Amino acid sequence: MTSRIKTAIKTKVNFIGLPILALCWVGFFWGTTWLASKEGVRHMPGLQVAAIRQFIAGSLYLCYFLLKKTPWPKGKQWKTIIILSILNFSLSNGLSTWGVKYITSGLGSIISAMVPLWILLITIFKGERITRLVVLGILICFGGVCVIFYEHLLDFMHPNFRFGIMISIASTITWSFGTLYTKKKAASFNPYFSLGLQMFISSIFLHTLIGVTGTGIALSEIPANSWWSIAYLVIIGSILTFIAFIYMLQKLPTELSSLYAYINPIVAVILGSLIFGEPLTTAIIFGGSITLLGLYLINYSMRKKR
């Protein structure tokens, strides 16, 4: 009986495919990290959540590669690692985590999905021509954003809400620059080791900033809920899901692997409504769907052009 069960499970896994399972894992669990961040910042500063998360995750990566005696980066590789640690982790991850202190996790996740739009605008600014499909995608995105924020017009009267929106948008812009810089400065250095170094270096920057501004709280004052949230962000968000993400990129076509970026906001919006009671209005559902459609058209057109 046991052998039959094992055979059936193995057949089912082979049929579904581990890469597809990896895609589902990334799509779902990276969506849940928005809720973990939201819970973490309820009781402590957002930048401190990001700093502690990146310090622990970065240290775990570094310990692993040090035990394996992996060679350290050399020369200009350090420059690339430091720049990416500032763009992708100190600014992008730090600001997005800080942002959900003032806006809903669902809204933060929808804003984060707009990275392809900023990448496109940056390339247009550099003189690259765009197709009609891209123009259509931009117009659809703009329409979707207008629908989403229609019900939030009065919220813009509140400084905290405006601040949360501003730093969340800023986080997507810095991530876009980091993405373009990664493509330009692609190096042969171990990407996993580089990731650990970027996290660790960014945590030093963030802890320094927190110390200078005096905005942090003592570790003894951090409640258990925030520690559990940070643990979830480290284990699920920074380690397991990133491993699945790299595996997925290696095994699946780009058009299919990129679907995780459109699944994340859906997961965050639905779970945010169920767990935190965040508003799940018609405007958010309809506007979010329109925005994601526009982003998909932009992404698809850019890949097709390449």
pLDDT in tens, 49-74: 999 999 999 999 999 999 998 888 88
Which pairs with CB-CB distance under 8 Å and at least 24 residues apart come from 239-243? 239/57, 239/60, 239/61, 240/25, 240/29, 241/25, 241/26, 241/29, 241/30, 241/33, 242/195
CA separation for the pair 251, 298 (Å, rounded): 23
> CB-based contacts of 80: which residues, under 8 Å, 6+ apart?
181, 185, 187, 194
pLDDT tens column, 231-280: 999 999 988 988 888 788 777 766 666 677 778 888 888 888 888 887 77
**Token pair listed for 88:** 């992708």
State the pLDDT at residue 115: 78
State the pLDDT at residue 185: 63
State the pLDDT at residue 104: 86
CA separation for the pair 170, 64 (Å, rounded): 33
SS3 content of the chain, % helix, strand, coil (to 5): 80, 0, 20
3-state SS, one letter per residue, for 20-69 = HHHHHHHHHHHHHHHHHHHHHCCCCCHHHHHHHHHHHHHHHHHHHHHHCC
CA separation for the pair 168, 295 (Å, rounded): 17
- Region of 129 (left: φ > 0; alpha: ψ -120 to 50; beta: rest) is beta
State the pLDDT at residue 232: 96
Per DSSP, the three-state class of 250 is: helix
What is the CB-side half-sphere exposure of residue 190 using CA atoms within 13 A?
Answer: 15
Phi, psi of 186 (to 5 degrees): -55, 125
Q: Minimal CA–CA distance to 206: which of 49, 34, 77? A: 49
If the chain, 306 residues long, is cut into consecutive pieces of 10 residues, what is the mean pLDDT of each piece? 52 60 87 92 93 95 91 86 91 93 87 79 74 76 74 76 91 87 69 88 95 90 93 93 81 70 82 81 78 75 62
Q: How many other CB atoms are found less than 10 A from the CB of residue 68?
A: 9
Helices 105-112/260-276 angle, 10° precision:
170
DSSP single-letter state for residue 153:
T
